[in-house]
Amino acid sequence: MQNTIKFINEKTNNFKPEIGVILGSGLGDFVQDFKSISIPYSDIPNFEVSTVQGHKGQLIFAQINGKNVVFMQGRYHFYEGHSMDKIVYPIKVMKKLGVKTLVITNAAGAVNKEFKPADLMIITDHINFMGTNPLIGENDESFGTRFPDMSEIYKKNLIKIVKDCAQELGVELKEGVYAAFSGPSYETPAEINMIRKLGADAVGMSTVPEAIVANYCDMAVLGISCITNATAGIKTTPLSHQEVVETANIAKNKFQSLLLKVLEKI
Ligand code: HPA
């Protein structure tokens, strides 16, 4: 960890980010209009290389509306074969760099029958169906306690800020529970029916490990999903990654303006 922090501090001239943002599908080019310092994951000691189409793989440091922000342009997914340790390593790095608030974005399938493609959903809570937990293993007390509370990962004050921003922009927002499976296969109709009965509104293959670790490290978490597709059992055509990427692009402008306003208000 120390060599990672030393490397980043040298590259950024000791830039101190207060907010971290994980840019999910469709938000990849969010930072392009801002003056920034980018460091490819492949250059950073102890970082893995991300392999998914539509995910670039670099840390970007930028000052946006007077706030110091670090962006993850591209994230690690469990289905890529990375260990949970590697997936959440950047979150621990953000903590060490001084990040207090983590904004997590993603693309997700609609489990709630009221949701439509290109809707945005505030994550109010999550269900971990990944079959593992990023905190398994020896605990480093310098980050957090062995048995961390998870009763309010997604902070109500941040949710309120997003709702106010959306109202100002005239953007309609959904809210609900995000369930994560490991992927990479999409869900079966039976799996979607099951998680709907259990209270899920959206489904995806990321976010949950990052949110668990951020909350464990005492960072305030905000989660926003871009609903990119109907899911099995409702959808009448097969689902493809291309469809997910295309719909994320359709929602891109409203997602970006919402994120920009939220960064102003946090
Ligand atoms: N299922 C899982 N992950 C996803 C989906 C989905 O329907 N859409 C985008 N990511």
Active site residue 55: yes
Q: Kindly report the pTM of this predicted structure.
A: 0.96
CATH number for the domain including 147? 3.40.50.1580
Query: Does any ligand 1 atom lie closer than 6 A to the CB of residue 204?
Result: yes
For residue 165 the two structure tokens come to 């921003």
Residue 50: the pLDDT is 62
Annotated active-site residue in 55, 215, 220, 232: 55
Residue 46: the pLDDT is 94
| Mean pLDDT across the chain | 95
pLDDT tens digits, 87-129: 999 999 999 999 999 999 999 999 999 999 999 999 999 999 9
Return the number of other C-beta atoms located less than 10 Å from residue 175's C-beta: 19
Pocket test of ligand 1: the residue of 120, 234, 244, 246 to mutate, having most ligand atoms within 8 Å of its CB, is 244
Residue type, position 189, single letter:
P
pLDDT tens digits, 40-72: 999 999 998 766 555 579 999 999 988 999 999
CA 95, 97, 98, 102 torsion: positive or negative? negative
Between CA 211 and CA 224 the distance in angstroms is 12
Look at the block and give the residue holding tokens 């493809």: 240
Query: Does any ligand 1 atom lie closer than 6 A to the CB of residue 191?
Result: no
pLDDT tens digits, 201-235: 999 999 999 999 999 999 999 999 999 999 999 99
pLDDT grade for 86, boundaries at 50, 70 and 90: very high
Look at the block and give the residue holding tokens 């207060």: 18
Residue type, position 182, single letter:
S
Residue 30: the pLDDT is 87
Structural domain harbouring 47: 2-265
Query: Does any ligand 1 atom lie closer than 6 A to the CB of residue 227?
Result: no
For residue 27, CA distances in Å to 189, 204, 242 come to 28, 16, 15
Q: Considering its fold, how many domains does the chain have in total?
A: 1
Annotated active-site residue in 205, 214, 219, 251: 205
Average pLDDT over residues 75-91: 95
Query: Does any ligand 1 atom lie closer than 6 A to the CB of residue 226?
Result: no
pLDDT tens digits, 160-172: 999 999 999 999 9
Residue 165: the pLDDT is 97
Residue 65: the pLDDT is 86
Average pLDDT over residues 249-263: 94
For residue 81 the two structure tokens come to 């074969």
Query: Does any ligand 1 atom lie closer than 6 A to the CB of residue 187?
Result: yes
For residue 47, CA distances in Å to 52, 78, 104, 157, 263 come to 15, 14, 19, 32, 26
Closest CA to 176 of 200, 209, 159: 200
Residue 225: the pLDDT is 97
